Amino acid sequence: MIVLVALILGTLYVSAVWLLVRNYLLAWIFVLLASSSTYAFGAFAIVLIKIHIYPVDFLDLCLLSAGILRFRVQDLKLSTINILVGAYLLLFGLSVVRGLAMFDVATVGNEGRGLIGEVIAFAYFTTIPHDRKTVKRIVFAQIAFSAVLAFICVLHYVGVPIGGAVGITNGQQIYDKGAIDRGLPAGAAASIELSLLFATSWAVYRKHSRWLPLLIGIFIALVIVMQHRSVWAMLAITLAAAGFIDSKIIRYLWKIGGAVAVVVCIAVFSYLGLRARLTEEFRNSATNTDTLQWRIEGWERSLSDDQSPLSVLIGLPVGSGYLRLDSNAGGYTNFQPHNELINQYLRVGLFGMVLLVLFTIRPIYIYFRYPDSGSLFYPTPSAWILVIIGVIVFGFPYSFSVELFALVAMANGLIEAPPEGSLNRSFSLQSRKVTS
């Protein structure tokens, strides 16, 4: 029986890897489907030999394997992107090996899952095909994904028992109180905000459905109603950046999206079951600073532990835990600090943190230096630059999820710096009106 199960799983694994190697768009759709299911129903897990096993772990394993295979031999040249990807994966692999030498497989596996999104983005999503039609479909899938999240959020607010769940372990539902109050977790709200940027740029510069302005208004309204202050900061900073990078986005949102958002907000607050609760929650969101103080305390105490020179450079082994004193909990807790850079520093050290920062800002740097290097970005280069800025902002109060950081990896795979000395025409970040 065991041999039969192993044979079936092995066949499924090989078939899935072969499919993901050949079809990048399908891999992206699978990731979005897995994330939407998690945001809607929670992450179902079983505990086997102390290891929490999630269905999405199979997809993660297949994506990692497919990412390695997608780097063809001729692509293994000494380039900036390959150096960044290779060095980060080497550091993470070293941290895992060191962890296995010190701890058991269950401890390393359970904790290593917290960084798997970044690893998958580095290994797989940087291999995006240089095909404008594929990029268009990827952006369409991202907008459709956010539309599904918006629908889940609306169902949650009208009383349907969906959304807000963060986990199911051995059949026991685990809820995050903050997520329930807000309809969806912050990661889902962040995806909606990024899709707002893509959708607005699409509406300004490309042919689009007459329903797209309505969807843009719904996105704006839900980003506000869900009351994730970190996502409010994303929205404010990306729109401020759009004022310098692509002012047409601001004008469109002011004229079209803003009007629709006002109508949607009025409709939401007219629903008697929500008016009183949301009014009180908005008051708390505007005045409550406890969450910020809790985060800052967690950052400080995570960095205050004594570390050796080696751990400062390459991090502590995966499995070391995040034990720290939490004044709110009245004792010690073992949770990741809510900050992407600190998480990276603790597990891949200063070297790994710098690699991730360089990887994240690389598309922005190259585009500003070589304005004609973003020809593959759809719907416009400015939309992708703003999306990367949004992801950066989100990384300060939270860690990256795979669907967020994958967009940064795609931008790295699409953008190409011309060779030194080549002629580079100076284009504005604001794209011209096109018809496709």
Looking at the domain assignment, is residue 114 inside a domain?
A: yes
Does 435 fall in a domain? no
pLDDT, one tens digit per residue, over 324-336 is: 666 666 666 667 7
Q: Is residue 1 one of the residues assigned to a domain?
A: no
- Per-residue pLDDT reduced to its tens digit, 82-91: 889 999 999 9
Comparison of pLDDT for 426 and 32, the residue scoring more: 32
User: How does pLDDT run across 164-197, given as a tens digit for each residue?
Assistant: 644 444 445 555 544 446 788 889 999 999 999 9
Q: Does 19 reside within a domain?
A: yes
| pLDDT of res. 75 | 59
4 located within any domain:
no
Q: What is the 3-state secondary structure (H, E, C) of 337-368?
A: CCCHHHHHHHHHHHHHHHHHHHHHHHHHHHHH
What pLDDT does 15 receive? Answer: 93
Is 111 among the domain residues? yes
Residue 378 lies in a domain: yes
> Which 3 state secondary structure label does DSSP give 43?
coil
Per-residue pLDDT reduced to its tens digit, 43-83: 777 776 667 778 888 899 999 999 988 875 445 567 888 88
Residue with the bigger pLDDT between 299 and 280: it is 299
- pLDDT tens profile 120-138: 999 999 999 988 899 999 9
**264 within some domain:** yes
pLDDT of 276 > 80? The answer is: no
Domains in the chain, number: 1
DSSP string, 270-330: HSHHHHHHHHHHHHHHHH--HHHHHHHHHHHHHHSS---HHHHHH-PPTTS--EEEETTTT
* Band (430; pLDDT cuts 50, 70, 90): very low
Domain carrying residue 258: 14-414
Pairing of strands 331-334, 172-175: unpaired
Q: Give the pLDDT band (50/70/90) at residue 41.
A: confident
Q: Which of 95-99, 213-217, 415-419 has the highest mean pLDDT?
A: 95-99
